[in-house]
């Protein structure tokens, strides 16, 4: 991919977008005269208030979001939620959103040398899914991370298209959203003629129990989401150790760094 630095050694590969990140930060500091202060978190706070304040000029705001939207697709899962979240306000940004976009640029500058390391640590596929129930627009946010042979190979932060009525339902929707990608990866692994164990990891016990055959079922979600059962083993994990949480919400500095 364009803009990704690749460093190879005998046992590992390092990927980063430090050059691209530098260009983005420099552009807005010089061309837009934006003062950027380093920050340890992607957003100033978890929920941005939508007030009746006067709308700001959206051109620079959209320019910042448009410049950053490429980075989560390359090597920066840590900013996938923040970029996704701020992009929701692109048509009518207010002062709170403008300040949050500057805050995100400060985080980019703070973490400008962050890299993704690839080296084989085992033969297995792990799929981490998480959901932040509700949210500002009632629709929950799905986050997922795919780790193959111990390496992060896919991730995303996406807003769910339906309104989940509980945390369990939101988690089931999140699991269903990864089904197509999961099937695709499993087909590729199957073509290698090597048996690779696959596990879906979730931090909601009720959702895991339902997928594992509990008699308790959510009728409206059943058809699209129970196909996961035939593809992968389900496993519960505590929220503290949930890797995909970084794709669903703004985390504090310490917790944020632990998820990377």
DSSP string, 125-177: EEEEEEEE-S-TTS--EEEEEEEETTEEEEEEEEE-SS--SSHHHHHHHHHHH
Which has more pLDDT, 259 or 203?
Answer: 203
Lay out the sheet containing 198-202: strands in order across: 151-159, 141-148, 125-132, 198-202, 233-236
| pLDDT at 146 > cutoff 60 | yes
Which of 165, 183, 168 lies closest to 230, judged by CA? 183
Average pLDDT value over all residues in the chain: 84
Q: Is 236 exposed, middle or buried (0-12, 13-18, 19+ CB in 10 A)?
A: middle
Q: How confident is the model at residue 139 (pLDDT cuts 50, 70, 90)?
A: confident
Q: Which two tokens stand for residue 105?
A: 């640029």
Q: Tell me the whole-structure pTM to 2 decimals.
A: 0.86
Mean pLDDT of 106-110: 92
User: Tell me: the pLDDT tens digits for 20-74?
Assistant: 999 999 999 887 777 778 888 898 876 776 666 677 778 889 999 999 999 999 9
pLDDT at position 218, please? 60
Give the count of beta carbons closer than 10 Å to the beta carbon of residue 193.
Answer: 6
pLDDT tier at 221 (50, 70, 90 boundaries)?
low
Q: For residue 12, which of 158, 160, 120 has the smallest C-alpha distance?
A: 120
Coil, helix or strand at residue 234: strand
**Strands of the chain, DSSP E:** 5-8, 13-16, 115-118, 125-132, 141-148, 151-159, 198-202, 233-236
């Amino acid at each position: 991919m364009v803009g990704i630095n690749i460093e190879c050694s005998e046992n590992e590969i390092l990927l980063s977008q430090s050059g691209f990140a530098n260009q983005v930060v420099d552009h807005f500091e010089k061309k837009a005269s934006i003062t950027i202060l380093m920050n340890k978190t992607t957003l100033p706070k978890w929920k941005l208030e939508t007030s009746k304040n006067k709308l700001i000029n959206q051109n620079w705001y959209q320019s910042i979001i448009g410049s950053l939207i490429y980075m989560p697709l390359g090597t920066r899962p840590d900013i996938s939620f923040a970029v996704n979240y701020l992009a929701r306000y692109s048509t009518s940004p207010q002062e709170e959103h403008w300040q949050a976009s500057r805050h995100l640029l400060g985080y980019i500058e703070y973490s400008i040398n962050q890299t993704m390391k690839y080296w084989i640590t085992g033969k297995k596929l792990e799929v981490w899914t998480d959901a932040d129930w509700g949210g500002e627009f009632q629709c929950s946010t799905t986050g997922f991370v795919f780790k193959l042979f111990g390496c992060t190979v896919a991730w995303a932060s996406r807003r769910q298209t339906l309104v989940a009525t509980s945390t369990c339902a939101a988690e089931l929707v999140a699991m269903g959203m990864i089904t197509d990608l999961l099937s695709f990866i499993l087909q590729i692994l199957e073509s290698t003629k090597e048996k690779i164990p696959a596990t879906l990891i979730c931090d909601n016990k009720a959702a895991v129990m339902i997928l594992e055959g509990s008699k308790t079922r959510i009728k409206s979600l059943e058809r699209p989401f129970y196909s996961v059962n035939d593809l992968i083993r389900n496993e519960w994990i505590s929220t503290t150790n949930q890797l995909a949480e970084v794709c669903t919400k703004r985390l504090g500095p310490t917790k944020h760094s632990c998820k990377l």
